[in-house]
Structure 1
Amino acid sequence: MSEQAVRGVHAISRTTRLTASIVACALFMQTLDSTVISTALPAMARAFHADAVGMSVALTSYLISLAAFIPASGWMADRYGTRQVFRAAIAVFTLGSVLCGRADTLGFLVAARVLQGMGGAMMVPVGRLVLLRSVAKTELVAAMAWLTIPALLGPVIGPPLGGLIVTYASWRWIFDINVPIGLLGIALVTWFVHDVREPRPVGLDWRGLVLSGLALAGLMLAVEIGARGLVSLGAALTIGAGALTCAALYGWHARRHPAPLLDLSLMRVPTFAVSVYAGSLFRIGIGAMPFLLPLMLQIGFGDSAARSGMVTFAGSAGALVMKPVATRVIGRLGFRRTLLWNGLIGALTLGACGAFRPAWPLAAIYAVLLIGGFFRSLQFTAFNTIAYADLSRAQMSAATSLYSTLQQVSLTFGVVAGAIALQAAMTLRGHAVPSTGDFGAAFYVVAGFCLLSVPIALALRRDAGASLIG
């Protein structure tokens, strides 16, 4: 690629930067919430008299709610306008955060997390849709990188902040910190985001919403409660079978509906399909990390929540370093080679976390996490951009709904896969409390999912995404 083309990748207008920064405010709040709660899980488990490994339900309940309600996000934005829906979503997420901070039972916490998920289901996809509809395709790579720079501050700040709060105050404060951020986000959306909507939106596909919601939530619920032994194997299989039936019925319904809620025909677009298939596998592996790493440091290593947070933020710090150079790397290598070689490095660095031991020098642990975060960040930027390379603007709404739904499903399965792998390792070794070796085995399993994503990148053309990088 010529120097002129590479310089073109970096060109981004002031309006695009402003829009991306406002959307990133919402993404910052969501990622901060996710990383703070991961660090606080052991303390929350003690407060609710629950098993620390079983506290994964506090993560998966939120993600299941996201997956169930995200499909309606595109239609809601077209029908009521991006500004109205985006602003309301931030308000619902903030309200859910307040209720989480006042939970006195695990059941109350799960219910409040579901409400948070309803807000998040509209917040992030609609925010991404705002960006996709307001920037030129030649600015998309730079806009996606610009979008995630502020958002990545959440994972950088979250672990040490959560550790300090849990160690020196109450875990309940980890949810209340969303309130000022949410109020700021509502104000910025009101002042600066344009109210874009379709002039004549079709009616909401209610049947599709019910079928897709039951399929997604049921499948994840079956895996979660089955893996944790909350119900019998037969009951979990029954729920799973019902979810698969709903999925099959939705597939039949989508082929016949003129405007299905989740447009599966988009999977015929090669660049979109590769991003979905490879990205989902990669996210399953990475999605387990916020669950496994804090538990490994606090239970396996015996670290305090504060010390654990000061270690786990390193991966996100590495991701933050990558963002300013992501557009240049993709511009030099192209999407195909970036996804292939960078995916391999990302899988290996995730697997390297399984070798962590208390005797390791802290500098070595930091190095692995920083390097891993650096390359994982590049991988996600490439996935999130190439997905929209060959889509028209008319397809953006449907594509955002489908892509965001599958993205959240894969992250949910990442948490579940990490919990299942950890529980299996404990069972095989006869451990009642997980050891560092058990955590290591779990990390190797989830790294395998990342590794499976690498060959799929070969299905891309060598010039895939050329319109995005000049």
Structure 2
Amino acid sequence: MAISRVFLTPLIVACALFMENMDATVIATSLPAMALDMGESPIALKLAMTSYLVSLAIFIPISGWMADRFGARTIFRTAIGVFMLGSILCGLCYTLDQFVAARFIQGVGGAMMVPVGRLVILRTVSKVDLVKALSYLTIPALVGPVIGPPLGGFITTYFHWRWIFFINIPISILGIYLANRFIENLREEQVAPLDWIGFVLSAVGCSGLMFGLASAGRHLVNNDISAICVVVGVLSLSTYVWHAFRTPHPLLNLRLLSIPTLRMNVFGGSLFRIGVGALPFLLPLLFQLGFGLSPFQSGMLTCASAAGAMFVKTITNTVLKRYGFRNVLVYNTLLGAASMAAFGLLAADSPHAMVMALLLIGGCLRSMQFTSLNAIAYADIEQPQMSQATSLTSVAQQLAIGLGVTIGGFALQLSMQLQGHKNLVTADFWPAFLLIAIIAASSLPFALKLRPDAGSEMTGRRR
């Protein structure tokens, strides 16, 4: 039974995370080829990345409620099926608007898939085993980013990018089979009514804000409509905050932010994730449009980052036990931000070995940060609050990553305008990398506010 809870369940959930991570890295590697095929600017395809993240942000808040109401296994299987449908539609798209819509459908499945799977782990694994279980969860999932860039680059270079989406079909079928056989249909005896007002406000707020920011620059809609979307989004989210503190069962329980460890994840973690979220968008463009590499060559380089992340997952628990969450998050924040800024120093004639070394080190640092952030969020959360905490942290994570893509795109557009050219060149990228590094480093004050013994129960570290 111990093996089942700490090892088997995370591996099953990892099938879903594998698809998500591989899909994202494959798309990032193939962006220039997709843009050429659709007759769009590569920067415009940030809409396809953000539409997926918008969908996640809209539907993740109700994933916990649906799992409590209908059963975790039921929702998990359905989510994998919806994700597979969205993948098939992505492979059949010919225009940007079709692709954005198909990615949104994919996001509906992803919104239910991973958070519900994570919720199963949180409810079946003790706190003492939680860091280990989360590491088991992410090790197989990190195979996706390792395989994704070279596989996507190979398919795009030698076949056609459409085929990259059909890879999800056999993985989805396997995930549904394993979930049906091994995951319990956990549900709550008493479920609070769904906060429909909160759902509408958060959906309009997240989608309006993210779509407005991502479409700025006359991608799909003109700038006036983009500005209106941003204003509507901000007003809706502000109204939701007011609503959440006045309803007994809010969709996203903002009262949980009074817990310091969770607050570190949501605020400090989000700032760091904005920086990290921009990298899968910026790096393939730098390597292909700035350095002139093929999608396959670009993919072979970027997979080094995932290889580093995979290695660090095996030692994270030991490092946290030795140094504690606070020390790891403080120093790793600075090192991780510095590694992002260092990408701006690369040039077309930089040795590939040096580029891969930088990607490998950066992957190690970001992996350590993410595992620490994901674990510390639940250090002081009681079991009845796990569903609400999971929804809150998942929404914050997806919004931050989406903002990272948007901010990275803005920085490139602004750099092109200031330098007076229409096509991306290598010189356009260093301001973008510097900006996201500064944003990531700004999470440091939140880490400094943690108690020295924060999360010690999870690592077994002596206080």
TM-score (norm 2): 0.97
The one-letter code of the counterpart of 1:27 is: L
Q: Which residue of 2 aligns with 1:110?
A: 100
Written as runs of structure 1 = structure 2, the 5 A alignment for 1:360-439 is 360-439=350-429
| Structure 1 residue 232: Cα displacement | 4.8
Please state whether the residue corresponding to 1:357 is helix, strand or coil: coil
Paired-residue identity, %: 52
Q: Which residue, out of 62, 66, 75, partners 1:72?
A: 62
Cα deviation for residue 226 of structure 1 reads 2.1
- Paired residues for 1:177-216 under 5 Å: 177-216=167-206
Q: Which of 24, 30, 35 matches 2:25? A: 35
**CA displacement at 1:448 relative to structure 2:** 1.1
Unmatched runs of 5 consecutive residues or more in structure 1 = 1-11
SS at match of 1:390: coil
Contact 2:415-2:428 at 8 Å conserved across structures = yes
How many equivalent pairs are there? 459
Task: Report the alpha carbon displacement of residue 455 of structure 1 after superposing the two structures with TM.
Answer: 2.4
Determine which of 116, 125, 144 is the counterpart of 2:115. Answer: 125
1:163 is matched with 153
How far apart are the structure 1 equivalents of 2:360 and 2:45? Answer: 27
Once superposed, which parts of structure 1, at least 4 consecutive aligned residues long, lie more than 3 Å away?
Answer: 227-235
Q: Do residues 58 (structure 1) and 58 (structure 2) align?
A: no
CA distance in 2, matches of 1:15, 1:284: 32
Code of the residue aligned with 1:115 in structure 2: it is I
Q: Distance in 2 between matches of 1:441 and 1:312?
A: 20
The separation in 2 between residues aligned to 1:100 and 1:293, in whole angstroms, is 22
Question: What residue number does 2:162 align with?
Answer: 172
Residue 337 (str. 1) matches residue 298 (str. 2)? no
TM superposition shift of 1:228: 4.9
Q: 1:94 aligns with which of 50, 65, 84?
A: 84
Write the distance in 1 (CA, Å) between the matches of 2:281 and 2:316.
Answer: 26
Q: SS in structure 2 opposite 1:288?
A: helix
Which stretch of the first structure deviates more once superposed, 17-26 or 49-58?
Answer: 49-58
Q: Which runs of 5 or more residues in structure 2 are unaligned? A: none
Aligned mates of 1:228, 1:296 — CA distance in 2: 22
Equivalent residue number for residue 285 of structure 1: 275
| CA RMSD, Structure 1 to Structure 2 (Å) | 1.1
Other-structure match for 1:358: 348
Distance of 1:22 and 1:432 partners within structure 2: 46
Matches within 5 A, 1:224-243: 224-228=214-218, 231-243=221-233
1-structure distance, mates of 2:221, 2:5 = 52
**1:310 and 1:184 mapped to 2: Cα distance?**
27
| Cα offset, 1:395, TM superposition | 0.2
Does the 8 Å CA contact 2:71/2:186 hold for their aligned counterparts? yes
Secondary structure of the 2:293 match is coil
The answer as to 2:126 corresponding to 1:136 is yes
Aligned mates of 1:234, 1:197 — CA distance in 2: 45
2:163 and 2:225 map into 1 onto residues whose CA distance is: 37
Q: CA deviation at 1:101?
A: 0.5
C-alpha displacement at 1:237, in angstroms? 2.8
2:16 to 18, 26, 29: 26
How do 1:288-327 and structure 2 match up within 5 A? 288-327=278-317
- Between 1:255-264 and 1:403-412, the stretch displaced more is 255-264
- Residues 6 and 132 in structure 2, CA contact (< 8 A), matched pair in contact too: no
The offset of 1:231, in angstroms, is: 4.6
Q: Which moved more, 1:101-110 or 1:329-338?
A: 101-110
CA contact (8 A) 2:44 2:219 kept: no
The one-letter code matched in structure 2 to 1:421 is A
Q: Please say if residues 5 and 121 of structure 2, whose CA atoms lie closer than 8 Å, have aligned partners that are also in contact.
A: no
The question of whether the paired residues in 1 share the 8 Å contact of 2:326 and 2:454 is answered with yes
TM-aligned CA deviation for residue 166 of structure 1: 0.2
Q: CA deviation at 1:253?
A: 1.6
